[in-house]
Amino acid sequence: MPYWFKSRQTPDDIQVQEELKSSCELPRHIGIIMDGNGRWARLKGKSRVEGHVAGVESVRDIVEASRQLGISCLTLFTFSIENWKRPENEISALMRLLIRVLKRETRQLHDNNIRLHVIGEMKMLTDEVRKILMDTMELTKNNSAMTLNIALSYSGKWDLVQACRRIAEHAASGAIDPESIDENMIDAHLSTSIFPDPELLIRTSGEFRISNFMLWQSAYSEIYFTNTYWPDFRRTQLYEALREFQNRERRFGQTSEQVDPKSFKRQA
């Protein structure tokens, strides 16, 4: 495994990871709303852009830890459609940061068998950003150890609207019968159709909302809120979230007696 995936994996780290993997089932798909960069920066007397720069190191650490744990898909809510309303200088700085990070980390992603995938309204991005994203996705498209799914210029409402439009087009052309439209068909037209729904949704920074993130897909996600700002959220905090996930009873509308006791671990 290339150097950067071993850089922070201490013996204690390996032990915690093995305990998590052996305790009970880990989520196949984790979604994270990475929030709090600006407030972290303000508390430290820094600019908002410096907060975003600091958040990159958390991305790196969480990607490493997720790959080591065997998580199949990690979706990071990087930039929402609503974020386009932010000051232009902040948006420009974020896009430059994205370009710089992709240029620096693409080879490491590829060497560690990680596929990069992007969901969102990509036509709103600049040509330069779109090109480097497309180039990275092309390079890593056959990688199979984990998918790093970047939600960029994304919103859950946009995702549902674009799915409904595509289904409506099929219905109008006679390709499908409107009576055949069901949950499975909607699933198949969402931007996340190739992934399982996220079993665990994490939001940092102490806010208690999901902010238009994977609204349909998170219907039965376990939601974990933490007061930790994103630049301070590292693998230790991820392990805490996973322990909490493993301690929850996931019933999906059933009773406790109907649920397979092997699929969860009860609170003591």
Q: Is residue 242 within 8 Å of residue 20, measured between CB atoms?
A: yes
Neighbours of 18 (CB within 10 A): 11
Helix (H, G, I), strand (E, B) or coil at 211: coil
Hey, what are 253's tokens?
Answer: 């509308």
Q: Which of 12, 13, 35, 184 is catalytic?
A: 35
Whether 89 is catalytic: no
Q: Which residues contact 203 (CB under 8 A, 6 or more apart)?
A: 32, 33, 35, 209, 210, 211, 223, 224, 225, 226
Closest CA to 79 of 162, 137, 151: 151
Hey, what are 3's tokens?
Answer: 């150097």
Q: Which of 13, 83, 143, 187 is catalytic?
A: 83
Whether 127 is catalytic: no
How far apart, in Å, do the first and last CA atoms of the chain sit? 37
Active site residues: 35, 83
